[in-house]
Structure 1
Amino acid sequence: MERSRQQLTKTNGRTRPKKLYNDSDDERLDLKIDSIREKTRTPCFVYVLTFFSSLGGFLIGYDTYIISGAKIWLKKEFSLTYMWQEIIVAVTLGVAAIFALIGGILNDRLGRRSVILCACIVFTAAAILMGIANDKYMLLSGRILTGIAVGQFIYLFFH
């Protein structure tokens, strides 16, 4: 037993320190200063942008897939032919593909924050336009605006 106590207190000919710092207040002070970090607050505006960005992702999926179920009522309401149904469904994705390319240029020139806010405004205008549409041309215009906003968001999500 005596020998095992000696092994605990001595390793490689040196005794183990009983404290972390052996009479070195300077070292202790240096370590405390190194461990102090500045606490940074995230601005509220960042949370608002994050919310709208995630809402944009939701709207992309919702708008792309909800149109398939809405085609039945749109056909009856606006007396759409098969050609017009295809145009109204496909125009959003076609315009989104074009504006995904333009979104890169807008992102570089205006910044992510401005593009997100602009896309949210365009989404809102598109929703209002589609909601008050009384003919197929207004509905098509709303779908084109939706494609513009979707294209801006697609670039933000994948870049």
Structure 2
Amino acid sequence: MEHKREVAAEPENQATDETEAASLPSVMVAGEIPGYDWETAREAVRNLGYEVLGRADESTVLLILGEGGERNGTKLRDAAERGIPCMDVRTPGRFKAAVCAGELVGSDPLPEPAKVDRSGLSERERNRLIRAWARDHGYTLPDKGRIPMNARHAYEQSNRDVSQGKAAAA
């Protein structure tokens, strides 16, 4: 008895599609784009003929900087090291205008990466949390300037991880 084996035909244009995808310019997106959710913003970029990458490679031609993008030090360093231009879209409407014009152009300066602690918060965000916590717990603080050490220390003590407390006691 003869066994016949069916072989699926490979699409003729498969190699062309892979070559085409590899030759597309790519962009990195750091942060949230005002007025767009994550997927909609990336789809808009793809519709303009770009791939969206998490890390820069030889095809990367632009960094799109959204809200909070300065916290992504890796993407900012990649862009700086490779000389990739930045398009700062933190101003509402800037990204939409570029999409409508069909052109993503980067000529904005790259910000310095925000200093973040282990929690992923920038110093400014952390200070806001400390101020809010301290006020909720009866501390009187100035709106600007240094946070008094007693308030900062009390915040640190109240938000210490249990495992840290055991290590400190040992």
TM-score, length-normalised on structure 2?
Answer: 0.24
Higher relative contact order (CA closer than 8 Å, sequence separation 6+) = 1
TM-score, length-normalised on structure 1?
Answer: 0.25
Please state which structure has a larger fraction of its residues in helix: 1
Please state which structure has a larger fraction of its residues in strand: 2
Larger-gyration structure (1/2): 1
